[in-house]
């Protein structure tokens, strides 16, 4: 007796998916109240329904939301204007992993790119997610950049401390140059 695998179904997101998507993307949503996060997701779902350059794909397995990916037809970067479908946060709930959900989501991304006439698909996985990075590598994705983020106040504090230490080092250097010149003038005068 062979066990058949239930096929993964991929469909556009509905506003009723917002709660499941909030659970799925808990680690990537903005910090805020659950209500703010739900409102963000509902707005995104409605926005995708109104635009041809965006698609929020939801993967279902056995009638349950198992994963999702946000697709955006954009450019590789604001400087590199190569048309690109950006597959943002392809996530699969832990209990549905290794059942074809991630493959179905990335297939949806590839299909979306083909329908849009776009030759490049880009995605990102958390640096700490070894499984996700290996999965993307198996699909031919190669590292292009390292995205780093920090609180503005933390960056300002570091820049301020670097600037003050640079100023101190710089003023010490000027003092040494002036002292050397004085010594040189004193030696010439004697």
Judge if 76 and 129 occupy the same domain: yes
Task: Quick: pLDDT tens for 131-187.
Answer: 999 999 999 999 988 888 899 999 999 999 887 766 656 566 777 777 777 777 666
What does the pLDDT read at residue 120?
97
Residue 2 has pLDDT above 50, yes or no: no
Judge if 66 and 125 occupy the same domain: yes
Which of 97, 117, 138 is a domain's end point?
Answer: 138
CATH number for the domain spanning 122: value is 3.40.630.30
Residues 6+ apart with CB under 8 A from 177: none
What does the pLDDT read at residue 57?
98
Judge if 84 and 115 occupy the same domain: yes
* Parent domain of 85: 9-138
Residue 3 has pLDDT above 70, yes or no: no
The β-bridge partners of 73 are 85
Task: Quick: pLDDT tens for 95-124.
Answer: 999 999 999 999 999 999 999 999 999 998
């Amino acid at each position: 007796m062979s066990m058949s695998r239930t096929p993964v179904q991929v469909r556009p997101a509905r506003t009723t998916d917002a709660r499941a998507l909030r659970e799925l993307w808990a680690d990537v949503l903005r910090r805020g109240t659950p209500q703010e996060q739900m409102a963000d997701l509902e707005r995104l779902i409605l926005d995708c329904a109104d635009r041809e350059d965006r698609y929020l794909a939801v993967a279902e397995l056995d009638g349950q939301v198992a994963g999702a990916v946000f697709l955006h037809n954009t450019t590789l970067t604001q400087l590199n204007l190569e048309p690109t479908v950006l597959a943002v946060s392809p996530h699969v709930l832990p209990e549905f992993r290794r059942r074809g959900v991630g493959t179905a989501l990335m297939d949806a991304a590839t299909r979306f790119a083909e329908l849009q006439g776009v030759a490049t698909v880009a995605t990102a996985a958390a640096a700490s997610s070894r499984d996700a990075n290996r999965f993307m590598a198996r699909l031919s994705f190669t590292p292009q950049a390292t995205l780093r983020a920090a609180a503005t106040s933390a960056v300002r504090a570091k820049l301020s401390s670097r600037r003050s230490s640079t100023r101190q080092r710089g003023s010490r250097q000027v003092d040494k140059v002036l002292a050397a010149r004085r010594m040189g003038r004193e030696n010439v005068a004697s």
